Amino acid sequence: MIKKINSKTVKLIKFYNYINHNLIYNNKAINRYKKDIFEISVDKAENLEKLKKSISNIKNCELKSNSTNIVFSDGNPKSKIMILGEAPGSNEDQEGLPFVGRAGTLLDKMLASINLDRKSVYISNIINYRPPENRRPTDEEINRYLPFIKKHIEIIAPKILILLGGTAMNALIGNDVVISKVRGQWIEKEFGQCKTSMIVIFHPAFLMRQPTQKKLAWIDLKMIRDKKTKLKI
């Protein structure tokens, strides 16, 4: 007997296809995904889809014109832990997913050290298109994409927001701060209806260039682990 798929399920199927999750529908009480199982509300799915379309439709953007793919997100949209990096690199641009290169491999190891992985966090970037030659995004580019990332945070509504590196830090905290002064601290901030605890840690790419800083990164990771335990995430 063939079961009917209701309208909510259809919307979720369309959404997950849209954000590159290959969906396999099974006539059971849950939706099964080839990679992971993420049960989120239809409203959140629709809001994420609208946001991605808004970014895709941006006009007169050099970054978009020179990129192969939009790099929107990876991980679990239901997670209460959100990670923000700087911008896609060459590998990310080709695959349309954040942190899939060498820095992504290190990020996976950092997450694993505190019992997290890409199924238990949600990952995005301040900028959704690759800057030419992997350069740092300009202030003008960051300001143009800032409303999108703030909306992204509000939709995901994380309890913990991890900022990787100086670009993400400056975008959401301010240009007058330096990472050596703010890392290792929790900063409370609101994005619309979302109240979250932010922490700045070194970007994995920086740690590959400066491996001696991994000791400080481990201190920050333990703070995230303890916060996660305290918030019962």
What's the chain's length in residues?
233
**Residue 147, token pair as written in the block:** 């409303």
What is the pLDDT, as a whole number, of residue 24? 35
Residue type, 1: M
Report, as an integer, the average pLDDT of 202-210.
97
Task: Determine the Cα–Cα distance for residues 64 and 83; give it in Å rounded to an integer.
Answer: 22
What is the pLDDT, as a whole number, of residue 16? 55
Q: Which residue has the tokens 């007169």?
A: 60
The CA-based angle 98-125-229, given to 5 degrees, is: 90
Report, as an integer, the average pLDDT of 71-77.
97
Contact present, 157 and 197 (Cβ < 8 Å): no
Give 12's pLDDT tier (boundaries 50, 70, 90).
low
Q: Domains of the chain, with CATH numbers?
A: 61-231 (3.40.470.10)
Contact present, 127 and 88 (Cβ < 8 Å): yes
From the number of C-beta atoms within 10 Å of its C-beta (0-12, 13-18, 19+), residue 207 rates as buried
What is the pLDDT, as a whole number, of residue 22? 41
What is the pLDDT, as a whole number, of residue 39? 80
What is the pLDDT, as a whole number, of residue 5? 57
What is the pLDDT, as a whole number, of residue 23? 38
Phi, psi dihedrals of residue 45, rounded to the nearest 5°: -60, -45
Its pTM surpasses 0.75: yes
What is the pLDDT, as a whole number, of residue 121? 98
Contact present, 114 and 88 (Cβ < 8 Å): no
List pLDDT tens digits, range 22-67: 433 333 333 333 345 678 899 999 999 999 999 999 999 999 999 9
How many other CB atoms are there within 10 angstroms of residue 64's CB atom?
16
Contact present, 201 and 183 (Cβ < 8 Å): yes
**Exposure of 144 in the CB half-sphere (CA atoms within 13 A):** 17
**Residue 229, token pair as written in the block:** 């335990």
Three-class DSSP category at 116: coil
What is the pLDDT, as a whole number, of residue 9? 59
What is the pLDDT, as a whole number, of residue 35? 46
Of 6, 61, 83, 11, which is closest to residue 40 (Cα–Cα)? Answer: 11
Task: Determine the Cα–Cα distance for residues 142 and 14; give it in Å rounded to an integer.
Answer: 30
Task: Determine the Cα–Cα distance for residues 98 and 104; give it in Å rounded to an integer.
Answer: 8
What is the pLDDT, as a whole number, of residue 33? 32
Of 114, 105, 128, which is closest to residue 19 (Cα–Cα)? Answer: 128
